[in-house]
Chain A
């Protein structure tokens, strides 16, 4: 099973700042199989990015994804108040789906 490790666990930033979230895989992941989700308290997860860098429908362009192989990144170019949430990466490989443990983006 491929293990995804996200870093940092918590990111403390102010609105308007840039957020860079990392997702590292224990073995190479096919880029088409890497996605990112946002989850706010009391809400279901929401798809942000699929295929490592494609924005889902309705997602603002301040969200971008990049990476390949074992290292992937979610970047939020300028944090808006509604972006403070937990973010998860997810991959599919070896007939199994796995999620990272999550990165919490909190207001500094």
Chain B
């Protein structure tokens, strides 16, 4: 069974750095793209970027390019989302999600439980 398990909630101050994780199991990690999606409080879903663990090919939404870094560690089937300098506006829940296998389709078929990031002074 496919599982994406995300790291726990974080409370940070503006300017601090942060790296959250998404550990995958139940499938071949290197064969499926993993995306990250932001959901600000009471708002909708926003695609941030996506990475292919097989070769670390990474694509970013123009809205998030340069603001975050997506990476993977294949040895532990884990994807990461990191910030070098957080802002209060980064307060949100962040989801990782697995893209479906077929190259012909674009959808996320499995989602992590989300990581709540709170940035406040």
Contacts and interface: CB of A to CB of B under 8 A. Distances in A.
Interface string A16-58: 0000000000000000110101010000111100110000100
A45 B106 contact: no
Interface size class of A (residues with CB under 8 A): 20 to 34
B6 to A, nearest CB: 10
Interface in B81-102: 95, 97, 100
B62 A50 contact: no
Interface in A54-100: 56, 88, 90-92, 95-100
A47 to B, nearest CB: 5
B45 A96 contact: no
B108 interface: yes
Interface residues of B, number: 23
Given A32-B104, A35-B106, A44-B95, A95 B59 contact: yes
Contacts of A98: 47
A92 B37 CA distance: 14
Contacts of A51: 104-105, 107
B50 interface: yes
Interface of A: 1, 32-33, 35, 37, 39, 44-47, 50-51, 56, 88, 90-92, 95-102
Interface string B1-40: 0000000000000000000000000000000000101000
Contacts of B59: 95-96
A33 B11 CA distance: 36
Given A56-B109, A96-B61, A88 B100 contact: no
